[in-house]
Structure 1
């Protein structure tokens, strides 16, 4: 089951540019595996962000969470990437939580969304962001700070743009949400003033950034267009293609224990191996479609020489599919063990969360006239 996505065609369609070797080398040392191995493969306005990071000037990353269910591995990848950059450059990280949007777009009650929100927040805090440089902003809880800006931006987003970008909305909440998302992506600049920002997202989410960039281009807002770092899809267990929590394919949740990870990967992870042992020894496997290998390559094996060795031995037939799965099980389970220990060590959630909320001074800046 190869990933048939034409990633170059998407760049042509969206008008984005491929990541260059020079830009990869300019990422904080060492560049994250997602960057140096080409999972993040394209960008918009990346150079100003890299230059600000090199100079020690203000720069920020925006990456959000939508509380529609338990978080899985696909959700956590951009969060840990943002932490990697923050640890090395001092980047501000803003994490907007779109609890209202999940009510508009999913068949969920507000009570169900709030339940997911509480659990998602524990996972978010377990990532270990620097509380002095990280802000978690919740749409319904921080509406006083967000809504005036969203209302202002809404006047510059036509219904035709919403329809072209998101499809025909089913309700007025969906029609309005692009304005709130624009407020999310511009939030660091609304707090700290004009500066380079970066939004790491899957390539199919780029149209949402383009809506924001069109609004930000209007001189009256005194902000820069947010940059974007676009990634290829991380595969679900069922095979290459976008990982999703909204279909029937199994996913590895951040709360899964080692035994559950082992069971899910052994039973469900799509294999690039051959149908028989003899055939695999003779013809070798295909790491490009093997989900266990793709997990290791993208995120869970930091050693570049090791991922090269694994691919080489798999193609030669020396390494078996079961052995590749066993390596992925160990790496993923170790990662989740560490994440869960931090999660369990959190104290009272409201007390911990308060460290990451907007300060009163920041709220006052956001409550000011959006047009200055």
Structure 2
């Protein structure tokens, strides 16, 4: 099973995805104020989400990074990502949104001017009606933030073409601009940790499962930049290991002849121990010669706070000092025709600028899970798993779990007919869209605040 961020086919077995790529399942009962997307398992997996909630619990800052591809209209699938960003923002996080105009230019042949027009008219104008707080939201264009490209190229020294081919399936026919775009995305993901963009803090990236290759690449490159590796040892405690790199050999006490400068090595180990002490851990054994520090009173649950102190030290010493990004993953909503949603195929999705008439037409024409005749449907019932109207209620338009359960039961029993469940969906969808259009119109003045 392969995942392609640019052309993923329909994914059906999410458990297999989790097992193959090492994702952790999300337990919605352990989340603060879970949304219907969490409760229904639509947001189903994560990488290192604990670092976000540990920061929240400690009253420390955390951020959210999302992005938009300015190559078409905003549809309900895109809305789902912003809903997640808003949820994290409501929990106390700041939100950064990247407009991937360079990627759209490289992979889809759009001019930067057209990308800007799409971004503002189709996306940011809709964000204004979705409740994001402009005082805690920053939206930028890749082409206008050179540090993103610089960080992408810097991180790129920690990977190679073989790894990129393994992650993305690149071949000899892949353009170099396409190969470069994941590095720019990595720059997008990590640069909010720079001092001028909020400083060192955990960043979570909510994405569809097809974007996990970008997360894996970025996490791998970031981990290779870290000067202090924090790992669990055989005793279940934590061990710190010095990571000797081309740009830190002298600081880490390495001589030109490959030997160890004992005095310098002791200095760096003592500084690391001092940083660990700041996190509240004091039962420490160190081996400066081998560059290891064992923390006997720390377990993997304490890794985030210890790593934060060591990354702060790394920055003081001249390193990048970056945290690996966290991520959450949501399942794909089915397209109106039963396949994938696509901005380039209007019949497959509901756009946020669709008229009520178009919404009604699309839902009434959508793929059904009902039977061929009324009599057969009454006898056998419908299949909500493939029924688009039911799935859109589940994903977007019915937040009441009990009401959704009643609709599902009545549809499966045959009491609720295909036309009737579509009518329910039309009513809920148009009601939501009317309200959204009103909020969007009322808040157009916020666009400039998002872009400042």
Tell me the TM-score normalised to structure 1 length. 0.87
In structure 1, the gaps of 5 or more residues are 359-372
Contact 1:193/1:223 (CA < 8 Å) preserved in 2? no
Correspondent of 1:233 among 332, 335, 357: 332
Which range moved further: 311-320 or 223-232? 223-232
Query: Does 2:159 match 1:172?
Result: no
Q: Could you say if the C-alpha distance between residues 26 and 188 of structure 1 is closer, same or farther in structure 2, counting changes exceeding 3 Å?
A: farther
Contact 1:72/1:251 (CA < 8 Å) preserved in 2? yes
2:119: which partner in 1? Answer: 117
Which range moved further: 61-70 or 161-170? 161-170
Correspondent of 1:305 among 402, 412, 418: 402
1:260: which partner in 2? Answer: 358
Contact 1:19/1:41 (CA < 8 Å) preserved in 2? yes
Which range moved further: 58-67 or 117-126? 117-126
1:103 to partner: Cα distance: 1.2
2:57: which partner in 1? Answer: 54
Correspondent of 2:437 among 340, 347, 367: 340
User: Which has the greater radius of gyration?
Assistant: 2
Query: Does 2:418 match 1:321?
Result: yes
Q: Could you say if the C-alpha distance between residues 107 and 42 of structure 1 is closer, same or farther in structure 2, counting changes exceeding 3 Å?
A: same
**Partners in 2 of 1:204 and 1:66 — Cα distance?**
14
Which range moved further: 159-168 or 304-313? 159-168
**Partners in 2 of 1:97 and 1:115 — Cα distance?**
11
SS in structure 2 at match of 1:161 = helix
Within-5 A mapping of 1:274-285: 274-285=371-382
User: Between Structure 1 and Structure 2, how many residues are aligned?
Assistant: 345
Query: Does 2:134 match 1:35?
Result: no
**Partners in 1 of 2:32 and 2:191 — Cα distance?**
24
**Partners in 1 of 2:130 and 2:210 — Cα distance?**
25
SS in structure 1 at match of 2:327 = strand
User: Whose helix fraction is larger, Structure 1's or Structure 2's?
Assistant: 1
1:249 to partner: Cα distance: 4.6
1:155 to partner: Cα distance: 2.1
Query: Does 2:9 match 1:6?
Result: no
Q: Could you say if the C-alpha distance between residues 232 and 83 of structure 1 is closer, same or farther in structure 2, counting changes exceeding 3 Å?
A: same
**Partners in 1 of 2:435 and 2:191 — Cα distance?**
31
**Partners in 1 of 2:129 and 2:105 — Cα distance?**
25
1:202: which partner in 2? Answer: 208
**Partners in 2 of 1:128 and 1:113 — Cα distance?**
24
- CA deviations on 1:310-330 (whole Å, 9 max, x unpaired) are 111111001111111111112
- CA deviations on 1:238-294 (whole Å, 9 max, x unpaired) are 11x542224575321100111110001111x11111111111111100111111111
2:136: which partner in 1? Answer: 133
Query: Does 2:201 match 1:102?
Result: no
**Partners in 2 of 1:242 and 1:195 — Cα distance?**
35
Contact 2:150/2:187 (CA < 8 Å) preserved in 1? no
**Partners in 2 of 1:136 and 1:234 — Cα distance?**
26
2:76: which partner in 1? Answer: 73
Query: Does 2:388 match 1:288?
Result: no
Q: Could you say if the C-alpha distance between residues 98 and 300 of structure 1 is closer, same or farther in structure 2, counting changes exceeding 3 Å?
A: same
Correspondent of 1:214 among 209, 220, 223: 220
Contact 1:157/1:179 (CA < 8 Å) preserved in 2? no
